[in-house]
């Protein structure tokens, strides 16, 4: 699928897609070795530990946004240092995230200090959960597993990237898109649109 192709953002229920993305991310999180927490990731500003902390913080704060409450992204707590069972915490919080966005009215209206459409906000959470799970898998020599069939999570995330990419690049959140061949998989095309190399390898020591 062309990541620049428009996808109807109301085709899918975001709570369902978040549940699917969480199911895919959880095996990656559970398999993260403690000795690899300082390793670099394809998300250049983060090592493995800081990216897990970031992703946990996203799952917690976006629950508040689903309920039209305030969220605080000014500082990311060290969830890993605070809780030896942080892998289980991730499972719990991502389940709560999916439930929060499945609640009646969660996708309606606006939310957050910028008063963005709630569906857009939920799609940003889906983007983080999908792309950062891929980051962590790639950083620690794991496979990020997808279904073979047409994938609604990738469809929705690709639509979000297509919509938000100009702003994200202007803010330094995305780098310049990486050129991939026409035969690239939908996941590789999506990753490339965020400015990541789909074939990223850990830098040599």
pLDDT, tens digit, for every residue of 75-122? 999 999 999 999 999 999 999 999 999 999 999 999 999 899 999 999
DSSP single-letter state for residue 179: P
Euclidean distance between CA atoms 24 and 176, whole angstroms: 27
Q: In this predicted structure, what is the pLDDT of residue 141?
A: 96
Contact in structure between 100 and 63 (CB atoms under 8 Å): yes
Euclidean distance between CA atoms 181 and 198, whole angstroms: 11
Which among 68, 63, 71 is positioned nearest to 92, based on CA atoms?
63
* Interior angle at CA 141, CA 138 and CA 197, nearest 5: 30
Contact in structure between 126 and 157 (CB atoms under 8 Å): yes
| CB neighbours of residue 183 within 10 Å | 6
Euclidean distance between CA atoms 6 and 154, whole angstroms: 12
Q: In this predicted structure, what is the pLDDT of residue 187?
A: 94
Q: In this predicted structure, what is the pLDDT of residue 204?
A: 73
Whole-prediction pTM value? Answer: 0.91
Task: Give the residues of the chain that fall short of pLDDT 50.
Answer: 1-10
Q: In this predicted structure, what is the pLDDT of residue 172?
A: 78
């Amino acid at each position: 699928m062309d990541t620049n192709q428009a996808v109807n953002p109301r085709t899918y229920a975001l709570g369902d897609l978040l549940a699917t993305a969480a199911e895919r991310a959880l095996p990656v999180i559970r398999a993260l070795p403690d000795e690899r927490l300082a390793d670099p990731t394809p998300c250049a500003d983060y090592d493995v530990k800081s990216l897990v902390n970031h992703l946990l913080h996203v799952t917690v704060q976006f629950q508040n946004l689903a309920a039209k409450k305030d969220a605080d992204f000014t500082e990311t707590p060290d969830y890993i240092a605070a809780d030896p069972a942080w892998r289980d915490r991730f499972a719990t919080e991502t389940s709560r995230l999916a439930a929060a966005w499945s609640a009646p009215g969660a996708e309606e209206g606006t939310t957050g200090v910028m008063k963005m459409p709630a569906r857009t906000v939920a799609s940003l959470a889906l983007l983080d959960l999908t792309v950062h799970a891929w980051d962590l898998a790639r950083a620690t020599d794991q496979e990020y597993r997808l279904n073979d069939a047409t994938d609604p999570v990738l469809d929705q995330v690709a639509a979000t990237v297509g919509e938000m990419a100009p702003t994200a690049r202007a803010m330094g959140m995305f780098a310049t898109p990486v050129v991939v061949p026409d035969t690239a998989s939908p996941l590789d095309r999506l990753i490339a649109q965020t400015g990541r190399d789909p074939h990223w390898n850990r830098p040599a020591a």
